A = this chain, B = another copy of it.
Amino acid sequence: MTAEAPRRRGRPSRTEEESGPGSRERILDAARAEFAERGYDKASVRGIARAAGVDPALVHHYFGTKDEVFAAAIEVSFEPAAVVPAIVAGPRDAIGERLARFFIGVWENPVSRAPLLATVRSALTHEAAAKVLRTFVLRRLLERIAAELDVPEPALRAELAASQMIGIVIMRYVIKVEPLASADPEAIVAQVAPTLQRYLTEG
Interface, chain A (partner B; CB < 8 A): 39, 120-121, 123-125, 130, 133-134, 138-139, 142, 153, 155-157, 159-160, 162-168, 170-172, 174-180, 183, 187-188, 191-192, 194-195, 198-199
Interface of A is mostly: helix
- Do A177 and B124 form a contact, CB below 8 Å, given A167-B167, A171-B162? no
- Do A156 and B187 form a contact, CB below 8 Å, given A163-B170, A170-B167, A175-B138? yes
* Chain B proximity of A198: nearest CB distance (Å): 7
* A192–B160 touching, CB < 8 Å: yes
- Could you jot down 15 A-B contacts, CB within 8 Å? A123-B174, A123-B175, A134-B176, A134-B177, A138-B177, A159-B179, A164-B195, A166-B170, A166-B171, A167-B167, A167-B168, A167-B170, A170-B170, A191-B199, A195-B195
- With most chain B CB atoms within 10 A of its CB, the pick from A123, A167, A187 is A167
* Chain B proximity of A203: nearest CB distance (Å): 12
Residue of B nearest to A198 (CB): B194
* Chain B proximity of A96: nearest CB distance (Å): 11
